[in-house]
Structure 1
Amino acid sequence: MTALFARLVAMIGAAMILMRRWGKSPEKPALGGAPIIPEAKPQRIPTLKMPTAKGWEDGHAPTAAPGLKVNAFAKGLKHPRWIHVLPNGDVLTAEALGVDGGRIRTPFDYAMYSTMKRAAAVGNSPNRITLLRDADGDGVAEVRHTFMEGLNHPFGMAMLDGTFYVGNTDGIMAFPYTEGATKIQAEGRKIADYKPAGHWTRSILPSRDGKKLYVGVGSLSNIAEHGFEAEEGRACIYEVDLENGTQRIFAGGLRNPVGLAFEPTTGDLFTVVNERDGLGDETPPDYLTSVKDGGFYGWPFCYWGKTVDDRVPQDPAKVATAIRPDYALGGHTASLGLCWLPAGTLPGFPDGMVIGQHGSWNRSNLAGYKVIFVPFEDGRPSGPPRDILTDFLAPDEKYSYGRPVGVTIGPDGSLLVADDVGDVIWRVTGAGA
């Protein structure tokens, strides 16, 4: 009976997609500093559309932009999500799947779970960190070790003064590390607690002086539908003081802040944020923004500044303080990965940010499923985005070969990209390299 309900919900969802697309062209992507954001159209039945995970066949890879080339730095991983480069050049990748969402209460819950399972977004989580080493310098990691295992849905990683930090879904762990080690077996200590589940990723970025950690903690739900108390201490970026062991909320109202990076000239902290669902294909857009100390960015009461979400019980005083983000990235692109790319790292690319767009599940025309670049001038996003890697998604949108997540600069100056459906770390360089 449950399977029948699930099929019924899926059929209704497909019909709603057709109705939303009938007689009109797809909406233009809401991009840039002054995006055109369509009027909100609340959906009684949320759009549910996601490609089947297929993976990469031999010889198949994403398409690199002109002047660039891509190769597999490491294959055969298990849902690699995030990347960190150790001081000696070893590359770490956190391998994890999402936290169990709990009991399935409705036919739509079942349809959602079934869709996510088909898309390889749920399942048994490896809960480990793997070490990769390219000892001979040919751009392919021929050495592989299990660096850590038995973790609790690890994601963010950082190294400071001989201490290795891991962002588990329930908090930040600190472990002693010896340079060159291929495995950590010592007991760790927890330095910060966070509520697990919901948006489960915990990204980590050390402050530029190495005295603090910034941690991204997403919301439990879409629009606080489980109540505001359940969202207490979530949808924010924390600042953890490593000297005295305290932490505070640095900025709030950020539904799901994942990637974190500093703009080097201003020192401003930037993040990419996944916005809410159920208001339309491009409403509201995910975004890239600088983050102000004490700033509030709207969730759940409003979006893109002070545009009120009427589905949520309102707090006019909070709405009045909401800060508009800097740069729209399109609706539901699931922009997760973020790193600073200095000019000249890739030929033809100036200073800017690289963003791994994991890809949508909740719009009539799929979006994301690529790695993009946003140019910067005077410390701020400037100009249209450019593609770096594309074709993670089949042209008919039935299959995803991969889904990009974490991005970082590799030890050889290449760009590394974690692909959690393809189970690959991709390496991007200039075509002549």
Structure 2
Amino acid sequence: MIRIAGLAPLALLLASGAFAQQAADQPLLTGEEAFGDWQADRPGVRRLIRPDDQPSPRIGRLASNAPGLADRPQGAKPTLPPGFSAELIASGIENPRVVRVAPNGDLFVADGEANRIRVYRLAAGSAKPAEKSIFAEDLSQPYGIAFYPPGDKPQWVYVANSDSVVRFPYRDGDLKASGEPETIVAEIPASYHWTRDIAFSPDGKTLHLSVGSGSNTAEDIGSRPKGGLDRWVKSKPLGAAWGSEAGRADVLAFDPDGKNGRTVATGLRNCSGMTVQPATGALWCVVNERDELGDNVPFEYATTVKDGAFYGWPWYYIGDNEDPRHKGARPDLAGKVTMPDVLIQAHSAPLNMAFYEGGDFPADYKGDAFVTLHGSWNRNARTGYKVVRLKFKDGKPTGEYEDFATGFVIAEDAVWGRPAGVAVAKDGALILTEDGNGTIWRVTYGDGRS
């Protein structure tokens, strides 16, 4: 990316409080009106995208709109709803992605391209780190982080590399790994989509692992697997791909020791973030869909991961919409594609998700989920580059989502921030990472003190 300097005045203008408006004052945008861009984004803007809103696809690379990466202007912060504020925890990190909170409150941050896991221990009620450390290094593009067993006294920290899952011995409060990594899952294909997330089931019996596809839309998969399609269909999970895509675009499951590997769900092009919903115990993931079918095709999504489900990739998307690049290839899968739960504007690039169960935010936030949108190159009018709030009622998604943190785009061709990781701290603050300028933020409501 090209880094652009000297945009401070414009950035501060766009990040100013003039954009803050109460959600109640915002109309719910539906249909084509929900397909906005960065200039329309601001806290409180609400969108509801339905399956029938999906436009017709257009084959070909219709946009190549990668952002110019600007230095973060002095004083620039995420733009938030009224009453919320953001404090900087750290900056200058090479590639902060997933952030997870240890039972004692420490923040574990995957610094992916630097091949390390960082730890931050914040002073009480503050964004200022009281201690910080490198927990582990010499990894291989680490991303997902999970503590095992779930609960207050984990004994291991699991880390998902691009090509393996490893674990480190852990005792409450460790700032540095006390032992060498033990490989739990080996030989994960690492090309193309490299972000591997992990999450344990609430009972700790199952380790879930997401493995993204090895291509945009399985361009070189071929029309038939070795041995023929009929044989493949009878012996593999519904919608499983073959060849270079075998075992990819899937959510997999293992015992905590890495044994008894199995496929949970298929056709998830790049489930880049996973989390467990506290209210229901359901596994959720956010998915980056395919490119080069048009500005608004196909929708990205957040969804529960249903056992045995097929979500479409590479042959279908958002239900029974057939990818024209695979026209007529898998008629046997028509009518068998699971519809995602929450649809998000195309080419927003959702990376991570966290449910809010803290006590710091207003009561109506409890049970909702936050999703980071990293932004994509494949859209003429830039979108993403923000954090949104998915609305839930009685533990079920309404399908609506709302802009929460914006202001990362400072011009048509420049952004300073690309939201990546999100987690809820023990004191109820929201922790955000972005890898454009390598910053970590603590978002609080009111005075921010617990």
Range class of TM-score, shorter chain: 0.7 to 0.9
Moved more, 183-192 or 156-165: 183-192
**What SS class does the counterpart of residue 311 from structure 1 fall into?**
helix
Q: What code does the residue aligned with 1:186 have?
A: G
Q: 1:34 to 1:378 in 2, by over 3 A?
A: farther
1:47 to 60, 63, 85: 63
Q: 1:264 to 1:88 in 2, by over 3 A?
A: closer
2:102 pairs with 1:86: yes
In structure 2, the residue matched to 1:121 is none
In structure 2, the residue matched to 1:424 is 439
Q: 1:140 to 1:380 in 2, by over 3 A?
A: same
Moved more, 421-430 or 264-273: 264-273
2:165 pairs with 1:148: no
**What SS class does the counterpart of residue 362 from structure 1 fall into?**
coil
Distance 1:174 1:350 in 2: 32
Q: Any idea what the Cα deviations from partners look like across 1:215-238, whole Å, max 9, x if unmatched?
A: 111001011013240000000111
Q: 1:345 to 1:383 in 2, by over 3 A?
A: farther
1:381 to 394, 397, 414: 397
Distance 1:137 1:350 in 2: 20
Write out aligned runs for 1:112-261 (5 A).
125-160=113-148, 161-193=154-186, 194-227=188-221, 228-242=242-256, 245-261=259-275
Moved more, 423-432 or 240-249: 240-249
**What SS class does the counterpart of residue 244 from structure 2 fall into?**
helix
Unaligned residue ranges in structure 1 (runs of 5+) = 1-24, 97-124
Instruction: State the shift of 1:383 in Å.
Output: 5.2
Distance 1:248 1:430 in 2: 42
Q: What code does the residue aligned with 1:139 have?
A: A
Instruction: State the shift of 1:318 in Å.
Output: 2.3
2:114 pairs with 1:59: no
Instruction: State the shift of 1:132 in Å.
Output: 0.8
Instruction: State the shift of 1:283 in Å.
Output: 0.6
Q: Which runs of 4+ in 1 moved over 6 A?
A: none
Write out aligned runs for 1:293-332 (5 A).
293-312=307-326, 314-332=329-347
Is 2:431–2:443's contact at 8 Å kept on the other side of the alignment? Answer: yes
2:419 pairs with 1:372: no
Write out aligned runs for 1:18-33 (5 A).
28=35, 31-33=48-50
**What SS class does the counterpart of residue 58 from structure 1 fall into?**
coil
**What SS class does the counterpart of residue 197 from structure 1 fall into?**
coil
Is 1:27–1:282's contact at 8 Å kept on the other side of the alignment? Answer: no
Instruction: State the shift of 1:214 in Å.
Output: 1.0
Instruction: State the shift of 1:291 in Å.
Output: 1.4
Instruction: State the shift of 1:369 in Å.
Output: 0.4
1:334 to 342, 346, 349: 349
Is 2:341–2:399's contact at 8 Å kept on the other side of the alignment? Answer: no
CA RMSD of aligned residues (A): 1.9
Is 1:298–1:319's contact at 8 Å kept on the other side of the alignment? Answer: no
Instruction: State the shift of 1:287 in Å.
Output: 0.5
Is 2:66–2:376's contact at 8 Å kept on the other side of the alignment? Answer: yes
Q: What code does the residue aligned with 1:366 have?
A: R
Distance 2:444 2:62 in 1: 40
Instruction: State the shift of 1:241 in Å.
Output: 1.1
**What SS class does the counterpart of residue 140 from structure 2 fall into?**
coil
Q: What code does the residue aligned with 2:435 have?
A: D
**What SS class does the counterpart of residue 317 from structure 1 fall into?**
helix
Is 1:343–1:352's contact at 8 Å kept on the other side of the alignment? Answer: no
Instruction: State the shift of 1:46 in Å.
Output: 4.3
Is 1:147–1:184's contact at 8 Å kept on the other side of the alignment? Answer: yes
Distance 1:223 1:236 in 2: 14
Q: What code does the residue aligned with 1:159 have?
A: F
In structure 1, the residue matched to 2:5 is none
**What SS class does the counterpart of residue 230 from structure 1 fall into?**
helix
Q: Any idea what the Cα deviations from partners look like across 1:347-376, whole Å, max 9, x if unmatched?
A: 252421100000121100011100010111
Instruction: State the shift of 1:185 in Å.
Output: 5.0
Distance 2:156 2:399 in 1: 39
Q: Any idea what the Cα deviations from partners look like across 1:271-320, whole Å, max 9, x if unmatched?
A: 11111111111111100111110100000000001110120261112233
- In the superposition, the TM-score normalised over structure 2's length comes to 0.80
Q: 1:230 to 1:190 in 2, by over 3 A?
A: same
